[in-house]
A and B are shown apart, each in its own frame.
Chain A
């Protein structure tokens, strides 16, 4: 029988030393940002009933979900996302809590990815959910958290460096509004969705030509090309010429100005072609990019209908940080080395209790203290590990030896 007891499943890995340290660095920094903004941590279970992730308005492609059954044969999923479980908690145990609720999480999500593509099944995420407010200030608060995370990348290492970053804004309502008015079959609409999401201009144009040439299809044609800086808003007004869409554009432009004022060193982008096919966003969407990372490191937006699917009709906005992606970007410039202990204590037989007490005293002073195990020469051992100081203990004496080079 072939046994798989020495390897980890594809898409997962062990985090050792420097990888672990970088991941913790990102988590600690994001955590302190979120805490200082008044967010409280929640931990949701790794396993949930499948139904949590297969509501009407949002769903996960079944091939991406890691599924198993409980002891009653009910289908469960290993958490593929943290927002839906948090929506579930908010709609149940937190239903009577005063609003707004500010919650954050730091936990992995699991999604199967196509085999051998170099993608991870297990992705460590940290993120915030601001529940119970539809105000613009709530959007701005979440965006400002995203900006703090992006601008902090590379700042926690001994020799800080900065990484160019961009924050992108969009609003899925523009697309939804256009699609709502479009006279096309659900299959055609699904295809248009995919083509706009992949900015597949040639195929989109062909598709829309088949449906017919009118102002609406012209607008849909232009939608994925409307990305960049502030010039996008002017172009968009010309393309859409519609009061309702103009209203959405105006509020997005106002938000754009606010974000520009908040920006320190990064770039603000707009993409009206962000349509987020498979998730639960209902308005504002944001993405964060870091130079040197081929996928977005932050993803978020407003999801005003998700909680109502769990029976609690409140608006919400949030965002998630891909901790692994950020840690990888830091890893290009910074490899932490595990520091050696400050002191090695070597005790003769019979003095073990004394040695432990001594070590505890030194640790209380903030030193890192290791015990010598076994019979080797303690000074030689300390030298080989880079430990600067050895304390030799027997029943009568305590001798300190500084380890020379």
Chain B
């Protein structure tokens, strides 16, 4: 048997959703369920080796080819912009990027340059560049909603799932940036060198998620 294909999963919800998907395909994921603190786990009957990592690291490992495949959110892919193949939209992990401000804030009014707070500066820059709009971007690491409330920023670009956090803090979505969901990514060389194995798995996954 060939050495196992390595697939990096984004720890947390995407990991659980992917494992559930693999189980629906009939693979035995016991080792992943009983992982304890281990980070590399086998799924022998699929000839897979699961690697658990943070989202941005999934991209790094796949880009360098130390993992053949990965499951990661489109949000992180957009922010990181790696050189890899993005084969499948897995459909789970759905949310969106949106521009939000304080309720009834006249964001597009006036001639001043707006300040945007975001965990995703590259996504923010690309979004406003497309509008031909110059903005100041401030990188915030967590609870981005604080920035407009404290008066540091005019708006935020962030992930919105249900909108509850925004509402409870008196913010509202001004504009959607784009939809997000989990993607199956593949290293550019792995796809060529191990085409048959990867395509078999991809086909099975595609069949499963389209039913």
Contact = CB atoms under 8 A, between A and B. Distances in A.
Interface of A: 114, 117-118, 164, 166, 168, 198-203, 227-228, 269, 271, 289, 291, 293-296
A294 B191 contact: no
Size class of B's contact patch?
Answer: 20 to 34
B193 interface: yes
Interface stretch (B26-34, B80-88, B110-118): B80-88
Is the contact region of chain B dominated by helix, strand, or loop, or is it mixed? mixed
Nearest to B62: A294
Contacts, number: 57
B193 A289 contact: yes
B53 to A, nearest CB: 15
Interface string B173-211: 000000000010011111111010000000000000000
A62 to B, nearest CB: 15
B86 A117 contact: no
B85 A295 contact: no
Interface of B: 60, 63-66, 81, 83-89, 183, 186-193, 195
A295 B63 CA distance: 8
A199 B183 CA distance: 12
A203 B195 contact: no
Given A117-B60, A228-B195, A294 B189 contact: yes
Nearest to B206: A201
A201 B86 CA distance: 7
A200 B86 contact: yes
B60 A198 contact: no
Contact of B88 (A118, A168, A202): A202
A289 B192 contact: yes
Contacts of A289: 189, 192-193
Contact of B60 (A118, A203, A228): A118
Contacts of A295: 65, 83, 188-189
A271 B89 CA distance: 22
B86 A199 contact: yes
Contacts of B65: 293-295
A294 B86 contact: no
Contacts of B86: 198-203
Given A198-B86, A201-B87, A203-B86, A294 B63 contact: yes
Given A164-B193, A198-B86, A203-B86, 15 more contacts: A166-B192, A198-B85, A199-B85, A199-B86, A199-B186, A201-B87, A201-B88, A227-B195, A269-B192, A271-B192, A293-B65, A293-B189, A294-B190, A295-B65, A296-B189
Contacts of B87: 199-201
26 contacts: A117-B60, A166-B193, A198-B84, A198-B86, A199-B85, A199-B87, A199-B186, A200-B85, A200-B86, A200-B87, A201-B88, A202-B86, A203-B86, A203-B89, A271-B192, A289-B193, A291-B193, A293-B65, A293-B189, A294-B64, A294-B66, A294-B188, A294-B189, A295-B188, A296-B188, A296-B189
A227 B189 CA distance: 12
Nearest to A206: B89
Nearest to B84: A198
Contacts of A291: 193
A269 B196 CA distance: 12
A294 B192 contact: no
A117 B84 CA distance: 14
Contacts of B60: 117-118
B59 to A, nearest CB: 10
A166 B192 CA distance: 8
Nearest to A205: B89
A273 to B, nearest CB: 10
A227 B128 CA distance: 36
Contacts of A296: 188-189
B89 A202 contact: yes
Contacts of A293: 65, 189
A168 B192 CA distance: 9
Contacts of A168: 192
A288 B63 CA distance: 17
Residue among B81, B186, B195 with the highest chain A CB neighbour number at 10 A: B195
Contacts of B64: 118, 294
Nearest to B194: A291
Nearest to B63: A294
A291 B3 CA distance: 12
Contacts of B192: 166, 168, 227, 269, 271, 289
Contacts of B190: 294
